[in-house]
Amino acid sequence: MAMNRHTIPVTVLTGFLGSGKTTLINRILKEAHGRRFAVIENEYGEINVDADLLVKDGGETVVQLTNGCVCCTVRGDLANALNDLAKQRDAGTIQFDHVLIEPTGLADPGPIVRTFMAETELLTRFHLDGVVTLFDAVNGERNLLESVEAQAQLGYADRILVTKIDLLRERTAVQAADVEAALLATIAAANSVAAVDSISVPDAPWGEVFDKLLEMRGYQFDRVVFTPQPMFRPLAAAKHTPGVGSISFEAEQPLDGLKLNAALAAINERYGEALWRIKGVLAIAGMRSRIVVQGVQGLIQATPSTIWRMFEPQRSRLVLIGRDLDRDWLLAQLGSCVIADAASVADPRIASLH
């Protein structure tokens, strides 16, 4: 399941209505930036491709644009659509180096992410680089209070790009710094593993856009990187957002692999698809390798990674993001797996979890 350097990277670009997602996608499709993207939108996408931007009419589903990009409308199964694109690329009909998937502003990105974790054949041609969520600085907190979909978009994100930060500063005048810090604290409380940055969607230079949009490596199955929060402002006191939450578990002692299996199974049974994201690195008693955990919507994959070095502290960290999570119960479940004497545990291992 490790990422193949020859597979095609895929980025899911999501964001609630008004966040600037459609503006950014239209810029990618229309402007000269030197990159070749295949942009996939679903049947209800908001992208309007102008006729004068077309190189040729590729039929009802796929069209090629003058700047070298490809736009594809998906009305059925995403995996089939991606495989069809790969076949056309192999045949030389179209060319692209990166795929952007654009769900609607009301879409939960979970099923898209789950497709890449469940469809092993798909991973021979593509790899999920990560989920980028555009977050409206002016209306984002209100959206979180009113919409489960907005909460899910934030929860699944590997990178969160705050848009309209200039408008927020203009409206708050003297108190702009405090308001901005509080906003970012709210974001960090909802998702403690995503990198947070800002972007001006209408006029950000392409170098900045691609630095912030690509190369996240958020779904590597052999390596997990935790990014300090946030990247461009110190935290203030976070506002509590009903529903969405991020819980971090850490342990200095190794974990009992069999007990961990039981704990993760209990967590899955209780929360199922409401557990949007699990991400972590674990030290299992009796195992020489780190165990990298990636999970989404009840599907959890645990993969051996690099070997712990001699005398290196074997610390575990696991972050869980989801809706209406019971912090005390989750920490108790995971805490019960910590053991003081690793030598006392025989034949520990992590089984495949589904």
Angle between helices 78-91 and 110-118 (to 10 degrees): 60
298 phi and psi, to 5 degrees?
85, -5
Single-letter amino acid code for the residue at 82: L
Q: Give the C-alpha distances (Å, rounded to integers) separating 262 from 284, 286, 333, 342, 351.
A: 14, 18, 9, 18, 10
Give CA–CA dist 218/116, Å, rounded: 12
Angle between helices 165-172 and 176-190 (to 10 degrees): 130
CA angle 117, 120, 126 (to 5 degrees): 80
User: Per-residue pLDDT tens for 258-277?
Assistant: 999 999 999 999 998 889 99
Q: Which of 295, 274, 291 is nearest to 283 (CA)?
A: 291
- The answer to whether 102 touches 40, Cβ cutoff 8 Å, is yes
Give CA–CA dist 242/297, Å, rounded: 19
Give CA–CA dist 350/189, Å, rounded: 29
Give CA–CA dist 1/124, Å, rounded: 9
**Per-residue pLDDT, 185:** 80
Within 13 Å, how many C-alpha atoms sit on residue 142's CB side?
Answer: 7
User: Per-residue pLDDT tens for 3-15?
Assistant: 445 899 999 999 9
- The answer to whether 291 touches 302, Cβ cutoff 8 Å, is yes
How many Cβ atoms from other residues are within 10 Å of residue 344's Cβ? 10
Task: Give 182's strand partners.
Answer: none
**Per-residue pLDDT, 240:** 53
- The answer to whether 50 touches 169, Cβ cutoff 8 Å, is no
User: Per-residue pLDDT tens for 44-59?
Assistant: 445 555 444 444 444 4
- The answer to whether 195 touches 158, Cβ cutoff 8 Å, is yes
Question: Would you state the structure tokens that stand for residue 240, as one six-digit string?
Answer: 């509590």
Question: Would you state the structure tokens that stand for residue 247, as one six-digit string?
Answer: 């819980």
Task: Name residues of the chain where pLDDT drops below 50.
Answer: 1-4, 44-45, 50-60, 232-238, 344-354
104 burial type by CB count under 10 A (0-12 exposed, 13-18 middle, 19+ buried)? middle
Whether this model's pTM surpasses 0.85: no
Q: Which of 19, 193, 30, 205 is nearest to 106 (CA)?
A: 19
**Per-residue pLDDT, 175:** 64
Give CA–CA dist 246/187, Å, rounded: 10
